[in-house]
Amino acid sequence: MNKVKNKLILDNIKLYFEKKITKFGNSAKIDCPKKFIGKKAIVIIENDKS
C-alpha cells in the first residue's frame, strides 16, 4: 500500500466496499460478509467532506 498525494494505490485486492461505522456498546463496528472471517482487513478513515 502506497500513499501518493491523497491517492491510495493498493495491490492484491479481493473486495472493496464502503460501510458506515456504527455504534456498538462503548465502541464502534463495521459490518463485513462472514465469508471473510479470519481474513486480514485494512480500514481507512477518510477526512470529513467539507
In a domain, 4, yes or no: no
CA distance 2 to 5: 10
Domain assignment of residue 34, given as a range? 13-50
Q: Which pLDDT score, from 0 to 100, does residue 28 have?
A: 94
In a domain, 22, yes or no: yes
CA distance 19 to 30: 7
Residue 1 has pLDDT above 70, yes or no: no
Q: Which pLDDT score, from 0 to 100, does residue 15 have?
A: 80
What is the tally of structural domains in the chain? Answer: 1
In a domain, 6, yes or no: no
pLDDT tens track for 3-50: 556 777 778 887 888 888 999 999 999 998 898 899 888 888 877 765
31 alpha-carbon distance from chain centroid: 10
In a domain, 7, yes or no: no
